[in-house]
Amino acid sequence: MTNQSVIESLVRQAVRGVLQATPAAGVQPPGWVDGKPNLRVSISARHCHLTDEHVEILFGKGAKLEPEKPLYQDGFYAAAQTVMVVGPRRRMLPSVRVLGPTRSHSQVELALTDSISLGIDAPTRHSGDIDGTPGCVLVGPAGTVQLERGVIRAARHVHMNLHDCQYYGVENGDLMKLVVKSPACSVTFDDLLVRADEAAKLEVHIDTDEGNACNLEAAEQVELQKQTDSCKCHG
Amino acid sequence: MTNQSVIESLVRQAVRGVLQATPAAGVQPPGWVDGKPNLRVSISARHCHLTDEHVEILFGKGAKLEPEKPLYQDGFYAAAQTVMVVGPRRRMLPSVRVLGPTRSHSQVELALTDSISLGIDAPTRHSGDIDGTPGCVLVGPAGTVQLERGVIRAARHVHMNLHDCQYYGVENGDLMKLVVKSPACSVTFDDLLVRADEAAKLEVHIDTDEGNACNLEAAEQVELQKQTDSCKCHG
């Protein structure tokens, strides 16, 4: 590395907050690789979250969620169980995966394509923000739950820990953007909400429509940027 | 208007090529409203194009496409007819709209979400560029066609006439980008191919995944920009 490029590298690191964010010696923040954040972009296919009570109604007295596949975020998992989600006019999705652990409110997260095929007008909301959202019927092998609300199109977001926050110069609740370079279908997604806590690993969650719009599987580059980096160029 | 804003307006017009692009007095280019381009963004749901021969095989000897609904581009229409598209492993889409007029090659255009549900790995291609693409089976009321190739995920593009080209400072074959501002899910789509001819009206075509990724129906603003306007800011 030339002197010039060392300086540039240091300036870039400083701008990105790396120098301040460098964890204490020997501390590897969750999800970091080789001393820096390791961006993962995950597609959340349609899924639901259930309360303990609803698990018992749908799957039988005493039933618990059975962890089948751990998710990237520690402690979360795809359960062995699925439910049928039924919309108005008897349209339905036969097999929607349940994610664990259980929550205080049941919630169904769909891509807009799913919600259109189901005939439910699902608003774009962040997880847990379900006031005034439409409901649906959940059908399991042991019973049925009429959800009064909780069907949303999950707004895109990025999980990160506090070291990641420092690295990117953002705080919990800020908005970021994700630049995806894919052959013939590159996309920049704005409005990624930062959900930060001590333990999270850096992970963007987009839905299947978003993942397919940019053909994420074929992507050659993904980059996370502060929303305020967005340019004001107009042609 | 103050002198300053008149000057700014003239500069902006000049930068955008409006002055050069202004059509001769009394000439209104196709699709223009009040002397300027009128951007339309349309979502192309899955559909197919057929040859005359395939129309007869699928719908009966002597059958013709029946125009049911004109599309925005003059001379093009959604036909009354639909076909079933069958993929490998007997998965199928029961009712895929045929668009007219007929073409020299049959072609099926799917969103990636459709192609995943059908089990066909449809590459992102521009219309007509079907060498090496996968095929499928088309089923109509009178017969069946085995397509050897022609299943694509249509690459996003923008139709425009030559006055629109001058207005935006682009040529046939250039790439542009589309900025969509939507509540909680704004998106910038890169890689829109300019398809220019004398008669086209300004219209961006994106697929259902792309339209749902940005919730186009809820969009508050759409803007078409030269791809070279893309910013090089990095956080």
B180/A contact by beta carbon, under 8 A: no
How many angstroms from the chain centroid is the CA of residue A121? Answer: 20
**DSSP E strand stretches across chain B:** 40-44, 47-49, 67-70, 77-86, 92-100, 107-109, 124-125, 136-139, 144-147, 151-154, 157-160, 175-181, 187-196, 203-207, 221-226
Q: What pLDDT, in 10s, does the model give residues A134-161?
A: 999 999 999 999 999 999 999 999 999 9
The helix/strand/coil state of A195 is strand
What part of A 185-224 touches B (C-beta under 8 Å)?
A: 185-191, 207-210, 212-215, 218, 223
Is residue A102 within 8 Å of residue A51, measured between CB atoms?
yes
For residue A183, the chain B residues in CB contact (below 8 A) are: 124
CA angle A150, A154, A160 (to 5 degrees): 125
Comparing B18 with B190, the larger pLDDT belongs to B190
Q: How far apart are the first and last CA of chain A?
A: 38
Report ipTM (2 d.p.).
Answer: 0.85
User: What is the per-residue DSSP string for A49-112?
Assistant: E--HHHHHHHH-TT----EEEE-SSTT-EEEEEEEEEE-GGG-EEEEEEEEES--SS-EEE--H
d(CA A31, CA A44): 19
Is residue A34 within 8 Å of residue A18, measured between CB atoms?
no
The residue extents of the domains of chain A are: 29-41+156-226, 45-153
Q: What pLDDT, in 10s, does the model give residues A1-60?
A: 334 443 444 344 434 444 445 666 667 899 999 889 999 999 999 999 999 999 999 999
Provide the phi-psi class of B35: left if phi over 0, else alpha when psi is between -120 and 50, else beta: left
Please tell me the pTM assigned to this model. Answer: 0.86
Residue B99 C-alpha, separation from nearest chain A C-alpha, in angstroms = 22
Flag whether pLDDT at A230 surpasses 70: no
Mean pLDDT of B217-232: 82
For residue B168, the chain A residues in CB contact (below 8 A) are: 235
- The count of other CB atoms within 10 Å of the CB of residue A200 is 21
Q: Give the pLDDT of residue A25.
A: 66
User: Which DSSP category does A34 fall into?
Assistant: T
How many angstroms from the chain centroid is the CA of residue B66? Answer: 21
CA angle B165, B171, B177 (to 5 degrees): 80
Task: Output the furthest CA–CA distance in chain B (Å, rounded).
Answer: 69
Cα A233 to Cα A129, A226, B22, B156, B232, distances in angstroms: 34, 16, 24, 22, 10
Quick one: which of B167, B155, B173 has its CA closest to B201?
B167
Q: Are strands A40-44 and A92-100 parallel, antiparallel or unpaired?
A: unpaired
Flag whether pLDDT at B77 surpasses 50: yes
Measured between CB atoms, which of B16, B215, B223 is closest to A124? B215
Please provide residue A212's backbone torsions phi and psi, each rounded to the nearest 5 degrees: -80, -30
Q: What are B209's two structure tokens?
A: 């995944």
Q: Which CATH number fits domain B29-41+156-226: 2.40.40, 2.10.260, 3.40.50, 1.10.150?
A: 2.40.40
User: Which DSSP category does B185 fall into?
Assistant: -
